[in-house]
Chains A and B, each alone.
Chain A
Amino acid sequence: MITLTSDPIDVALAMKDIQSEQAGAIDIFLGVVRDNTQERPVDRLEYEAYDRMAISEMQKIADSAHTRWPILRYTIIHRKGTLQIGEIAVLIGVATAHRADAFEACRYIIDTIKQTVPIWKKEVFTNGEEWVNAHP
């Protein structure tokens, strides 16, 4: 399942969604808001998405992961809006029969999300703000 939401991410609920009796491994990756960027203190992050395309690009990534690993169940949840330090920005959950596939699929999904999904984050510092990756 793919979700783009303004609400806080519920890890226990996400895990319940991907549990399967055939699964011997469940990997859950959490991307969380860090309090600094290259030692510059961050106050909060502001996420923005091109909703319809963000969802379709995340679905493409999930479909592609499905063809590469024997995934039993998965969930991808991405936040948008303002996030405070320590909040979960993204959750990837993958259930497979064996752990190697779960680790690899989970890593592939988060790495590819960072490359192709039209979601943007702005770091808000105490003395300024900056869209991440935007400048050369």
Chain B
Amino acid sequence: MDNALLAQLLGSALAVALLVGLSAWARIARPAPALDETAARKLLADEFPDHGVQAVWIAGDGAGVVARSADLALVLWRKGDGYVARSGPWRDVVSAGAVDGRVRLTALDGAPRLSLGDRAWPPAEIAA
């Protein structure tokens, strides 16, 4: 690797660091407040428009949602200032065990960890 190329790569890496730092300083991410049921249902409607939602369970920190649609679990969790959506068999998703106030949904790719707070798991009100 010649010196000019090395200098260019190092300069580029420095520019990347400065730009990321500037974007962090600017605080211009989208607002991502804790979800309430209305906001959760709107997000679910965007992500799963073909699935009727029977009931919604919201994580203790408002950063995750598990909803039931017949035999499917519709799950949302926060990533940065947005949400990731996945669905899986209801029975598999709610069989996850809670540890240290969190539940890890390993039945879904990405295996999200949702905070329980004072919420019960599995969500008794929608598990029946």
Report whether chain A binds chain B. no
Interface residues in chain B, defined as those with a beta carbon under 8 Å from any beta carbon in chain A: none
List residues of chain A with CB under 8 Å of any chain B CB.
none
